[in-house]
Amino acid sequence: MLTTHKLHKATTCSQLVLKFRSLLAPLPAQNEFSPNVNRVSKRWFHPHFVLKHNVESENDFMFSIVRRPWVEVLTDSNDRVNNEEEFSKLLDRDWRSSNASDIVSAFKRAKQFCFNNNVPISDERFNKLVDGLMDHCDKLKYEDIIDLMQCLSEYPPCESYKSRNMHDVFSCLDDVCCWKMQNWSMDQLLTVADLWYKFNLAKIGDFIYLLLNRKASKAHHLTKDQLVRVFFFFNVCRKKSVDFNYECAVENKIKEMNIDEMAVVAIGYFKTRSKFRSLSIMQTMIEEVLTNSKSVHEISLTAILKILRYSSSYKMATQICKLVNTLYHEIDRLSDMACLHLMLLAASFQMFHEKMIQKGAAKLGRNIDKIRSKDIERLLYVLTMFDYKPNIEPDIFKAAYEEILSDKRLWEVVKYPRIFLTSLYHLSIRDVYSYHWMNKIFDEEYIKENFGKGAKNVPRLLYCLDVSARIDCPDYKGKRLSPNLAYKAAKWNTCYTPTHGKKSRSLIDQFHLETIETVKGIVQNDELLFIEHVIPSFPRADIILCKDKLTDNFVEPVGFQRYIFGDVMIPHHDDNLKWYAIVVIGPDHVVRDTSMPLAAFTKKLKQLQKIGYNPVPVTWREFMPLPQSERKRYISANLR
């Protein structure tokens, strides 16, 4: 079990880090549970230490699929500004008394000089020209807007869209585009949208949002190319979910699209958190990937894998299995992200493909210092879901542990606390704990700062980590959730035991009830059952039985009066007593097409054994098809 972490002392230079100075402080010199904390020389703690990724931009690749080449061509003014004197003379005029065409021409004349001398429009010398533009923006024609936006997209960038002049130009152009859009054709609208993307302001303004909103009712009139371009702007805008009218249009046009165009549609859905409701769209995408598996671009493939996972339906399981089996052979040529999302897709269907996971983990493990903490967390999710340890060197869990807790990742720890917490939880399933960071994240001030005040806002995984630490780390002396907070968090993170009086019950509730009734039939006395959350990090209560070894009869469970809800309930120790914990495991918690529990429940069974119970797993797949008489025999066989 790994229990220490070599944390470098960091000195901060940003408000973000100062906000979490207690988090970043090194452990006290005398610390029982982490005695060997190495200290090195101070380093400035700054976002520039975040890992750089030399990968192709997803948006730029998608834009290369949908853009119109002629939009890239701008006719420059023949009367260019050549020196500082001409530049100042051009801008130092009363542009408010000019006209829209001359103002656009002035921006075009100054462009090359500004590009050569790194002069953005936030320079105060542009004040008069920008004032003139604001006065005359409503008189701009469609051609003027096209010229002006393309011209401005080639100026040196300002620090922010809120910079002087930049905000005025951006807001007035956004307004005029919104005013005039009803007079433009769909191709013209999309051309302007292309330029907003080039201008790097597509996500901020209102124009693209209004375009997507107003054209939804006419989506069936769009051509295939127009429809694909619309979905690119869903991806860029991310303010609006995909209207069902657009999905109907996609369903009609999907067979006309190539695989890259399908990827644009897929990323539009994924980035707006919209799910496909049409199975035929997903089936067509899968067929296209299977046909082009050896040549599909890794960014296109990643986009399609993302939306297939996000829109996953059990009805697609057979096709997804075929897809995973096919793409497994392409892992060597695919990017790290494509491999990761292939693994995640299989995991979303609880599909354990050992060779694919082994190969994908080896590929990601080689580059673990280059991928984001978010992606390390996802890799850990897949590996721990199936309780699988790849046969690779160095050990993938040790490498992930050292990487996410390394000095260079501190900025990501501070900025993405939930991702960091989730990584620690996944590692705990493999009995890998960082005592140092547990001491930090169980601090109430840290919890309030990152997740909110009150037990309702305590993340479930933080509570699970706290419970696991109580069982697996008896030598841990650091902070834990306070008893009051743990009690309330347990209330929020557990389910009520189902009863017969409740009219509406889920399938898992019915399964739980039928298991309880079967156990009652075995022991013949309701008082011999104790149904409670003995490990409260799991939502379903367990059925506790106690057997007297001398008589081989079940007896009433005793000793639980000393516990309150939310405690880890260790059974009363008596050499003459044998304790059983019957654990119901639903269909969502086993490997697909097997009765093998997923890692979280495998961990629970080990923890039950560790605190003194004999765990008896009851799985949906084995239990529910049996007749009543066979169900009793099925459970009784494990109560000996």
pLDDT in tens, 205-214: 899 999 999 9
Domain boundary among 443, 463, 493: 493
Read off the pLDDT band of 424 (50, 70, 90): very high
- Per-residue model confidence as pLDDT tens digits over 109-136: 999 999 999 999 999 999 999 999 999 9
Tokens of 43: 């380093």
**Is 285 a member of any domain?**
no
**Is 235 a member of any domain?**
no
Say yes or no to pLDDT of 69 above 70.
Answer: no
Per-residue pLDDT, 78: 61
Q: With beta carbons less than 8 A apart as the criterion, state whether 110 and 90 touch.
A: yes
Per-residue pLDDT, 269: 96
How far, in whole angstroms, is CA 445 from its chain's centroid? Answer: 25
Q: Are residues 477 and 433 in the same domain?
A: yes
Per-residue pLDDT, 555: 95
Read off the pLDDT band of 51 (50, 70, 90): very low
Question: For residue 168, what is the enclosing H or E element?
Answer: helix 166-180
**Is 562 a member of any domain?**
yes
Read off the pLDDT band of 349 (50, 70, 90): very high
Per-residue pLDDT, 75: 53
Report the share of the chain in percent with pLDDT over 70: 89
Burial class (CB in 10 A: 0-12, 13-18, 19+), 189: buried
For 293-313, give the DSSP string. Answer: TTT--HHHHHHHHHHHHHT--
Q: Are residues 378 and 524 in the same domain?
A: no
**Is 352 a member of any domain?**
yes
Q: Are residues 416 and 516 in the same domain?
A: no
For 476-539, give the DSSP string. Answer: --S----HHHHHHHHHHHSPPPP-TT-S---HHHHHHHHHHHHHHHHHS-GGG-EEE-SSTTSS
- Please tell me the distance from the alpha carbon of residue 63 to that of residue 197, in angstroms, as a whole number: 9
- Please tell me the distance from the alpha carbon of residue 473 to that of residue 479, in angstroms, as a whole number: 12
**Is 175 a member of any domain?**
no
Question: For residue 582, what is the enclosing H or E element?
Answer: strand 577-585
Residues in a beta bridge with 542: 532
Q: Are residues 536 and 484 in the same domain?
A: no
Per-residue pLDDT, 504: 66
Mean pLDDT computed over 415-444: 94
Choose from 62-71, 75-84, 544-553 the range with maximum mean pLDDT.
544-553
Question: For residue 579, what is the enclosing H or E element?
Answer: strand 577-585
- Please tell me the distance from the alpha carbon of residue 397 to that of residue 575, in angstroms, as a whole number: 38
- Please tell me the distance from the alpha carbon of residue 397 to that of residue 500, in angstroms, as a whole number: 45
- Domain enclosing residue 605, as ranges: 507-636
Q: Are residues 397 and 439 in the same domain?
A: yes
How far, in whole angstroms, is CA 474 from its chain's centroid? Answer: 33
Report the chain's mean pLDDT, rounded to a whole number. Answer: 87
Per-residue pLDDT, 618: 96
Mean pLDDT computed over 452-458: 90
Q: With beta carbons less than 8 A apart as the criterion, state whether 285 and 279 touch.
A: no
Domain boundary among 464, 493, 522: 493
Q: Which of 141, 155, 128, 147 minimizes the C-alpha distance to 100?
A: 141
Per-residue pLDDT, 385: 93
Tokens of 1: 């079990």
Report the share of the chain in percent with pLDDT over 90: 74
Distances (CA, A) of 277 to 111, 257, 262, 272, 282: 48, 19, 16, 14, 9
Q: With beta carbons less than 8 A apart as the criterion, state whether 150 and 194 touch.
A: no
Mean pLDDT computed over 324-342: 94
- Please tell me the distance from the alpha carbon of residue 246 to that of residue 379, in angstroms, as a whole number: 34
Burial class (CB in 10 A: 0-12, 13-18, 19+), 36: exposed
Q: Total structural domains in the chain?
A: 2
- Per-residue model confidence as pLDDT tens digits over 500-510: 877 667 889 99
- Please tell me the distance from the alpha carbon of residue 593 to that of residue 596, in angstroms, as a whole number: 9
- Per-residue model confidence as pLDDT tens digits over 389-412: 999 888 999 999 999 999 999 999
Q: Which of 148, 80, 79 minimizes the C-alpha distance to 116?
A: 80
Mean pLDDT computed over 43-72: 57
The set of residues, in sequence order, having a beta carbon less than 8 Å from that of 366 and lying 6+ positions away, is: none
**Is 564 a member of any domain?**
yes
**Is 186 a member of any domain?**
no
Q: Are residues 391 and 452 in the same domain?
A: yes
Burial class (CB in 10 A: 0-12, 13-18, 19+), 86: middle
Q: Are residues 422 and 477 in the same domain?
A: yes
Question: For residue 548, what is the enclosing H or E element?
Answer: strand 542-548
Say yes or no to pLDDT of 1 above 80.
Answer: no
Say yes or no to pLDDT of 573 above 80.
Answer: yes
Read off the pLDDT band of 159 (50, 70, 90): confident
φ/ψ of residue 443, rounded to 5 = -70, 130
Question: For residue 11, what is the enclosing H or E element?
Answer: strand 11-12
φ/ψ of residue 128, rounded to 5 = -65, -40
- Please tell me the distance from the alpha carbon of residue 391 to that of residue 224, in angstroms, as a whole number: 47
For 144-155, give the DSSP string. Answer: HHHHHHHHHHTS
Per-residue pLDDT, 602: 93
Say yes or no to pLDDT of 384 above 60.
Answer: yes
Say yes or no to pLDDT of 416 above 70.
Answer: yes
**Is 546 a member of any domain?**
yes
Q: Are residues 371 and 452 in the same domain?
A: yes
Sign of CA dihedral 92, 95, 100, 101: negative
The SS3 call for residue 119 is coil
Q: Are residues 570 and 446 in the same domain?
A: no
Distances (CA, A) of 215 to 182, 205, 472: 10, 17, 57
Q: Which of 8, 3, 63, 67 minimizes the C-alpha distance to 35?
A: 3
Q: Which of 230, 258, 261 minimizes the C-alpha distance to 246?
A: 230
Per-residue pLDDT, 423: 96
Domain boundary among 493, 522, 548: 493
Q: Are residues 358 and 477 in the same domain?
A: yes
132, 135, 138, 140: CA torsion to nearest 10: -10
Q: Are residues 571 and 482 in the same domain?
A: no
Say yes or no to pLDDT of 54 above 80.
Answer: no
DSSP 590: B
Q: Are residues 374 and 446 in the same domain?
A: yes
